[in-house]
Every structure is written in C-alpha cells, then in structure tokens.
C-alpha cells in the first residue's frame, strides 16, 4: 500500500484526476457530478480531490465550466516514442465509444461514426489494430457463461465442473473500472458478487501478448506494447492494477522467454482526447483519411461487442448469450429493448427454458448507469438480501462509456451526453 494513500496497492496509480488550483473557481460544479464525494473545499474556495475516495471516473473533468480538473497521467509522448521504434509492435486497442467521438476534435460533427477513418489514421501512425469489440465478445462469453453457472447453482444446486467456488447472485458486471473500485472502497462485502471476468481492455492486452504475439504478429511477447484507447480515465488506473500481468505469467509458465520482471497486460492508456493529441502531434488529420479495414483477425467482431459502449449494452449481449446457451436455439428477435434507453435504472424479466434441466427459468435483470444518482438503493437491496434481480449491469458514467471522462469536452464545460446522446442512444 502506498504511504500517501489508504486504498491503493503497490504499483497502482493513485490520483488519476487532480484539480488545477489556478483554474478552480470553487463553483462546486465538480462536486455535483462526483459519485463518491471525493472533492473537498468550501464553495468559493479552491477545491481538491481526495484520491482515496476518487474512483478516477473523470466526470468532474468533463463537467467543469473552467477546465480545472485534469489528468495526471499523460502517456502521449511515450506512445509516440514506441511508435517510432521499429523493434516494437504497438497494438492499439480501440473501445467502441471512441469511434463516435474521435471525429469531433478534427472538426467533424459530434457523434460521427468514423471507424474506417480511425483505422486508417492509426495505421498511418504505426499502430496494429486490435478492436476492443473483439475483446468485448470474449468478455460476454466469459461473463455470460459465468452468470449461467451461478444461476444453475442457485436454482438447481449445480456444482462447479472443475471444483472451486461459485459466486453468489445477483451477479454484477465488472467491465467498468470506476464501478469496480466503487464496490471495493464502499461495499467490499459485495466483491464476491462482481463477475470474475476481466474487462475487455484487460482481456485484449493479455490476448495481444500471448496468442497475438505468437500467431498474429509473429514477434516476442515482450516486444508487444499494448495501448488501450478508451473513452474512460479510470482505464488508466485499471491498467496499473498488479493482478493484470496475465500474459507474463502465462509465458513464464509455458517456458517462454519472459523477462524476470513482470510486464503489464496493458502498457498505456490513451483517452479519446489523448488519441486526438497524438494524431495531431504526428500531423495526421483523421477527417481527411479514407476508410480502411482493421486488417487482422482482431478487428473482427459482432454487434454484441459493439453495444458495450452504451448503457444496457453489456446486459443485452449477456441475455443473447444466455438465451442461446440455455435454450440451444437462436433468437428469433435479437434485440432486448427493455434494457435500452437513458432511464437511470431499467429492469426486465426474460423467461426461457433451460434445456439441461427441462425447466422454465425467469431471469430478472437490472441496468444502472450514473452511479452518483442511482446505485445506492440497488446495492442496499442486495446487501439486505432483498434484491429481486439475478444479474445487474452497472456503468458509472451517465449513458455509459460514450459519456466517459476521457471523451471530448464541450467548450462550455458540459459533458458530451447533453449534446449528442439523445439522438445517438437507443430509444
């Protein structure tokens, strides 16, 4: 544990978000958007961030009218140096929400979908593409089948196939690092309820440095430099967590040429704003690029991975997976509209027949976004043993990842959601 803090382990980055005292006007806008009360200071006085209470979500940053909050971790120069090194394979792991935001810093209308242009610009910069939608597909297979195992254990007493314990219900999603840290620092008793699945970013990093290095890039794992390109400031914290060194452990266990010192699955994280700065630094105008393909297996993905960036997307993907696995039949209508939209808490019940046990099962799910306003009644129900739900998706940011703390900031200091999301999001 770091000496300066109480809630961080050795190696973790404390204080992804800080406040520039010269810019702060003490207006309290940041306090209104902070989900954990991490911002201190009286009205009219300079504010500061309590790093132990902060979950690095960046909502204060994108909602401050004076631009006082800022990111303390800026990897742009380091990534640029790696891109210039011909002995390094730099893998760009692009989150789904980035592609509808990265056009804005280049003069394109807010909300423009620029996947092809982004691929082209990143390839010109020297990146190899690993679309995080690919990893989101991996995540939902892991998270979805884990939920099925938990549900069958609770409903039918099914045991784990390979021994070990089975987590309790309701199962919470674990894709959002701000939400995971919120649970760890505010409701540690609920940690067993979190899915054991890594986030797509962390799965992507491990895949890139194992299968990717050996079978796709044909390079040594230690020469792969992975860059998460995310709409989220909390992803910078997540990448620093010491448990996310899976590729190094795997290579070492398999007798590979792993260095003696562990290396992380994700080496650096660029927010959407960071990527725009990097491309401009390299004199690449994304808006002028022609569309390009991703170019590798890792740029292939389904619609289930694509919708992870919006509130309800993970739950919808999970329900699709659960339906097919439990019933053995494809869905006649693939959309689950009940979990879509911008309502703070959405719920649905889906009845299906579990072919393994020959019984009908009703799965009750909830989707929560904007934990500042909506999460506490949900977790209090779970803590009290009164929750009606089996599976709960939680995203910290209003609207989900598309309104993450790493997205473009409006000149007036208001977040992206107020300008674009009503027309972009599911109805």
112 given a catalytic annotation: no
The reported pLDDT for the residue numbered 240 is 97
> Mean pLDDT over residues 333-349, rounded?
77
Catalytic residue of the set 57, 60, 401, 410? 401
> At 273, is the secondary structure helix, strand, or coil?
helix
Cα(273)–Cα(13) distance, integer angstroms: 20
The reported pLDDT for the residue numbered 296 is 85
> Mean pLDDT over residues 112-137, rounded?
94
Q: What is the pLDDT of residues 85-106, one digit of tens each?
A: 999 999 999 999 999 999 999 9
Q: pTM of the predicted model, to two decimals?
A: 0.91
> At 253, is the secondary structure helix, strand, or coil?
helix
The reported pLDDT for the residue numbered 235 is 97
Tokens of 330: 């494809």
The reported pLDDT for the residue numbered 421 is 43
Catalytic residue of the set 56, 120, 174, 195? 195
Q: What is the pLDDT of residues 147-162, one digit of tens each?
A: 989 999 998 888 877 6
Domain chopping of the chain, boundaries: 17-71, 76-134+199-302, 137-195+304-424
253 given a catalytic annotation: no
423 given a catalytic annotation: no
235 given a catalytic annotation: yes
With cut-offs at 50, 70 and 90, classify the pLDDT of residue 416.
Answer: very low
Kindly report the CATH number that applies to the domain delimited by 17-71: 3.30.70.20
> Mean pLDDT over residues 221-237, rounded?
96
4 given a catalytic annotation: no
The CATH class for the domain spanning 76-134+199-302 reads alpha beta
Q: What is the pLDDT of residues 3-45, one digit of tens each?
A: 467 899 999 999 899 999 999 999 999 999 999 999 999 999 9
146 given a catalytic annotation: yes
Cα(81)–Cα(368) distance, integer angstroms: 40
Q: What is the pLDDT of residues 285-336, one digit of tens each?
A: 999 999 999 888 888 877 666 666 667 678 888 888 888 888 888 777 666 7
Q: Which CATH architecture has domain 137-195+304-424?
A: 3-Layer(aba) Sandwich (3.40)
With cut-offs at 50, 70 and 90, classify the pLDDT of residue 280.
Answer: very high
Catalytic residue of the set 71, 104, 146, 289? 146
175 given a catalytic annotation: yes
195 given a catalytic annotation: yes
Please list the alpha-helical segments (H only) found in 130-259: 132-156, 177-186, 200-207, 234-239, 246-253
> Mean pLDDT over residues 223-238, rounded?
97
**Residue 420 above 60 pLDDT?**
no
């Amino acid at each position: 544990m770091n000496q300066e803090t109480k809630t961080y382990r050795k190696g973790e980055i404390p204080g992804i978000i800080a406040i520039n005292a010269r810019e702060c006007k003490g207006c309290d806008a940041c306090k209104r958007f902070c989900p954990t009360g991490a911002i201190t200071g009286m009205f009219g006085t300079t504010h500061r961030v309590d790093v132990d209470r902060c979950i690095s979500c960046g909502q204060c940053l994108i909602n401050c009218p004076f631009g006082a909050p800022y990111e303390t971790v800026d990897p742009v120069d380091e990534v640029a140096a790696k891109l210039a090194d011909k002995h390094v394979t730099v893998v760009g792991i692009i989150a789904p929400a980035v592609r509808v935001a990265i056009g804005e810093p280049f003069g394109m209308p807010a909300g423009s979908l620029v996947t092809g242009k982004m691929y082209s610009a990143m390839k010109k910069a020297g990146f190899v593409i690993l679309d995080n939608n690919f990893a989101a597909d991996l995540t939902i297979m892991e998270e979805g089948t884990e939920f099925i195992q938990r549900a069958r254990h609770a409903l039918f007493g099914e045991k784990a196939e390979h021994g070990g314990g089975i987590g309790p219900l309701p199962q919470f999603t674990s894709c959002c690092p701000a939400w995971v840290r919120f649970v760890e620092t505010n409701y540690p008793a609920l940690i067993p309820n979190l899915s054991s699945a890594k986030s797509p970013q962390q799965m992507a990093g491990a895949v890139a440095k194992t299968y990717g290095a050996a079978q796709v890039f044909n390079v040594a794992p230690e020469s792969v430099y992975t860059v998460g390109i995310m709409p989220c400031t909390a992803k910078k914290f997540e990448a620093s967590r010491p448990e996310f060194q899976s590729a190094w452990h795997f290579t070492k266990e398999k007798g590979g040429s792993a260095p003696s010192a562990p290396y992380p699955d994700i080496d650096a994280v660029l927010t959407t704003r960071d990527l725009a700065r990097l491309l401009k630094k390299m004199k690449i105008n994304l808006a002028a690029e022609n569309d390009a393909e991703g170019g590798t297996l890792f740029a292939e993905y389904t619609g289930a991975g694509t919708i992870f960036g919006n509130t309800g997307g993970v739950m919808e993907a999970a329900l699709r997976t659960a339906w097919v696995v439990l019933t053995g039949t494809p869905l006649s209508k693939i959309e689950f509209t009940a979990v879509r939209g911008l309502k703070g808490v959405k719920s649905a019940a889906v009845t299906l027949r579990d072919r393994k046990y020959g019984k009908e099962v009703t799965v009750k799910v909830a989707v929560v976004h904007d934990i500042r306003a909506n999460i506490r009644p949900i977790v209090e129900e779970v803590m009290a043993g009164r929750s009606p739900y089996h599976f709960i998706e939680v995203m910290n940011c209003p609207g989900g990842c598309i309104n993450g703390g790493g997205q473009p900031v409006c000149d007036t200091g208001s977040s992206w959601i107020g300008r674009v999301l009503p027309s972009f999001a599911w109805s």
